[in-house]
Amino acid sequence: MQKCPYCDFNSHAQKGIIPEAEYIAHLLKDLSQDLIRYKDGICSRKLHSIFIGGGTPSLFSADNIALLLNEINRLIPFEEDIEVTLETNPGTAEAERFKGYVNAGVTRISMGIQSFSDDKLKRLGRIHNAEEAKRAVQFAKDSNLNSFNLDLMHGLPNQTLDEALDDLKQAIELNPPHLSWYQLTIEPNTMFAYRPPKLPNEDDLWDIFEQGHKLLTEAGYQQYETSAYAKPNFQCKHNLNYWRFGDYLAIGCGAHGKISFEDGKIIRFSKTKHPKGYLRGEYLYQENNVDNSDRPFEFFMNRFRLLEAVPKIEFEQLTHLPIETVKSEINWAIQRDYIQDIANTWQITEKGKLFLNELLTEFLPK
């Protein structure tokens, strides 16, 4: 296995046999410690979603995924309709493995397709080809999953408008319930940052998005987040929780979590990035309180990624701050037609989506 040249996630190239049992034992120990550390924030809450991501977790056997989920359920009760997503790489997809994951309790698969062009896949450092990607989608369809997602990129090195739209048309033809369609960005400390490829210019990128958005809408997909489209009732519950400024536990190398407490305290934390340290039992890497001055920006940074209206009361409930805290910023945004004040909600406008960075900057601590 190898790390893709555009990837800045905490993933590591595989060397040798994966110590599955050992890693899962540490995951469960990590979770047990968090349940003690954050017990006042967790209380009697149930889990409504689990996302097993980071690299290629589908390299783990279905039996070990089942063990992990069963032990988590023993520690924390599940909602009856819990969504359990497993990230998978099309190059590691096998029909029997998919069925095994469903039997283990996985309800949703997310596949990193990225492109249906073999040439572009090689440029991105992906280990699969277009044929394997389509075969993996068929496995997902045949495995009785509740839903599955395709990750697709646009704005790839030397990609033309026609090539980008052809990728999207092939994805739509496969009819996934959910499609994450996002622009390639060059992140620091990646191979692409050190050796930047030639990317489409801004005018071409806008044409790709505008025409691609039309294709998706005509095919029955609804855009509900900046880069996420879904058929009706197939939005990703786990991602919605992130963007609605919800709480989430986090276990595993480089995982990030957020927990709110009844006394108004909000804590963000992250776990040790490198597997060697994590497997030594060094789980917690960093923990910090979210200051009141940072909460408006954090709330709107997440909330305005979603296209749905933002209930004003949620600002007070989730940040523990009065609405008056952001009165001047909200008025500034309304005057510029970045958001609309509609009854008890704030709604980001089409103009606001185009100038999202400027809008969010206004909520930064002064």
State pLDDT tens for residues 231-276.
999 999 999 999 999 999 999 999 999 999 999 999 999 999 999 9
pLDDT of 10 > 50? The answer is no
Percent with pLDDT over 70 in the chain: 92
Pure H helices in 143-201: 161-173, 191-194
SS3 340: strand
> Which of the listed CATH numbers 3.40.190.10, 3.20.20.240, 3.20.20.70, 3.40.50.300 matches domain 20-243?
3.20.20.70
pLDDT digits (tens, 9 = 90+) for 265-278: 999 999 999 999 99
Contact present, 57 and 87 (Cβ < 8 Å): yes
pLDDT of residue 12: 47
Whole-number pLDDT of residue 185: 81
pLDDT band at 51 (very low <50, low <70, confident <90, very high): very high
Domain ranges of the chain: 20-243, 296-361
The reported pLDDT for the residue numbered 220 is 98
Q: How confident is the model at residue 57 (pLDDT cuts 50, 70, 90)?
A: confident
Q: Is the pLDDT of residue 183 over 70?
A: yes
Q: What are the pLDDT digits (tens) for 148-173?
A: 999 999 999 899 999 999 999 999 99
Once rounded to an integer, what is the mean pLDDT over residues 303-331?
97
3-12, 96-105, 127-136, range with the lowest pLDDT:
3-12
The arithmetic mean of pLDDT across residues 226-231, rounded, is 96
Coil vs helix vs strand at 269: strand
What are the pLDDT digits (tens) for 206-221?
A: 999 999 999 999 999 9
Q: Report the share of the chain in percent with pLDDT over 90.
A: 78
> So what's the pLDDT on residue 59?
80
**Is the pLDDT score of 8 beyond 60?**
no
The rounded distance, in Å, linking the Cα atoms of 342 and 348 is: 10
> What is the pLDDT at residue 259?
98
pLDDT at 9 over 80: no
How far apart CA 188 and CA 194 sit, in angstroms, is: 8
Residue, of 17 and 280, whose pLDDT is higher: 280
Mean pLDDT for the chain overall = 91
Q: What pLDDT, on a 0 to 100 scale, did the predictor assign at position 167?
A: 96
Structure tokens at 205: 């990128």
Report pLDDT for 122: 86
* Mean pLDDT along residues 340-360: 95
Strand partners, 284: 271
Higher-scoring residue by pLDDT: 23, 19:
23
In 3D space, the residue among 359, 227, 238 whose CA is nearest the CA of residue 299 turns out to be 359
